[in-house]
Amino acid sequence: MSNKVAVLGSINVDTTYHVHRFPEPGETLAATDKSSAPGGKGANQAVAAVRSGSETYFIGMVGADSEGKFMRDALQEDHIDTTNVGNDPRHGTGTALVTLDENGQNDIMVYGGANQAMTKDVLSKSEEVMKKVDFLITQFETPQTVALEAFKMAKANGVITVLNPAPATEILPELLEYTDIIAPNETESALLTGIEITDDASLDQTAEYFRAKGVGVTLVTLGSKGAYYSTKDGSGTVPAFKVKAIDTTAAGDTFIGALISQLLPDFSNLADAITYAQRASSLTVQGMGAMPSIPTFDQVQEALK
């Protein structure tokens, strides 16, 4: 039985330009293809959770525009509850412009729009959601002040809070006091802690840094080297699956959504949940686009055999 998950976060329409290589400053390059797909860290994580079997609720904001309708429809198609997705009359729906080279590497420019303009009002009807769910996930494409309010509400209802501090930016110290699990990648981790990740000792040091600030579980994704975890009971690294990446967009989001769908609330199956999430993520990078490439529970299980 999968967990019930709420995601507070960003909703973007991703437009991807396919190029042989990234342009140099001032250079104009011809794109070989262009595609649009639903995305945004929050939306991707919700889709990863729901496709891995979780009952999933979304809390967020779109603009009163066609992109907003497109994104609401996309979430509903995946059976994600969008009751708590508001319409912002003043700001457009978030958009992301992705440049993707032939090695599967990307760079991304994001217009925050309604995501960044979100206020605590978005949480006005969220108490009902917090009474239903086991986990609440958020990221940094929406304001931290809203995340803090949501985490306080979650903790008051016994919900486990998960912070994916991406894109990395200075964290409100109080937010960490209400965070049960923090899950950065190695680059974000170094930016947040000032600890360069080079070996096991620096990973343990990173976990200590977050533990001192009130976070019980640290997860650091290490790309092709796997994922590190640290809890009060110990630490370890779960290896990654070797695949040829076509498009790395949403790899980290898939990892988090898939992991939280499988993780037991007492964290006793953490290593297994990480293996599941690594496999899900390895399938995502083999497909094009953010949401379209996120796998289902059955696809992940098949790949794990």
- According to the model, what pLDDT value does residue 224 have? 84
**Low-confidence winner among 22-26, 235-239, 249-253 (lowest mean pLDDT):** 249-253
CB under 8 A, 24+ apart: contacts of 275-281? 275/238, 275/304, 276/52, 276/300, 276/304, 277/227, 278/226, 278/227, 278/238, 278/239, 278/240, 278/241, 279/241, 279/303, 279/304, 280/48, 280/52, 280/254, 280/255, 281/251, 281/252, 281/254, 281/255
The amino acid at residue 160 is I
Q: How confident is the model at residue 87 (pLDDT cuts 50, 70, 90)?
A: very high
- According to the model, what pLDDT value does residue 287 have? 84
State the pTM of this model.
0.92
How far apart, in Å, do the first and last CA atoms of the chain sit?
20
41 marked ligand binding residue: yes
249 marked ligand binding residue: yes
- Tens of pLDDT, residues 44-84: 999 999 999 999 999 999 999 999 999 999 999 999 999 99
Write down the domain spans for the chain. 4-11+40-91+115-304
Question: For the residues 274-280, what does the mean pLDDT come to?
Answer: 95
14 marked ligand binding residue: yes
213 marked ligand binding residue: no
pLDDT at 242 over 90: no
pLDDT at 1 over 70: no
Q: How confident is the model at residue 164 (pLDDT cuts 50, 70, 90)?
A: very high
pLDDT at 131 over 90: yes
24 marked ligand binding residue: no
Asked: is 4-11+40-91+115-304 a CATH 3.40.1190.20 domain? The reply is yes
Percent of the chain beyond pLDDT 90?
A: 83
224 marked ligand binding residue: yes
92 marked ligand binding residue: no
Q: 65, 81, 88, 253: which one is catalytic?
A: 253
Any catalytic annotation for residue 65? no
